[in-house]
Amino acid sequence: MSSNYYRRGRNPTTAFGVLFVVIGVIALARQLIIWTEDFVLQFLFNSEINSEKVSVVTICVGIFIVVLGFRKNEQKR
């Protein structure tokens, strides 16, 4: 075996990131189904904090966690 061998194994960080993205997409899709697209966009771009903005932030945090999960964590031997 070479010293460059890297075994990823199980990665819980990526799983948590995917979970965050799925939760955000479900919440945003639910709002789009209940309300119309124009109504959701109006809430998305106003100055108040609401569930649409929280969903977008949740999706962004999930993508960031997935990116952190894919970085290589090589241990020096």
Instruction: Report pLDDT digits (tens) over 12-71.
Output: 888 999 999 999 999 999 988 888 888 888 888 889 988 889 999 999 999 999 998 887
* 27 touches 51 (CB < 8 A): yes
HSE-up of residue 29 (Cα within 13 Å, Cβ side): 7
- Sign for the CA dihedral angle at 47, 51, 56, 60 comes to positive
Q: What angle do CA 40, 58, 60 make, to 5 degrees?
A: 100
Q: What is the pTM of this model?
A: 0.75
3-state helix, strand, coil in the chain (%, to 5): 65, 0, 35
Tokens read off for 37: 């697209």
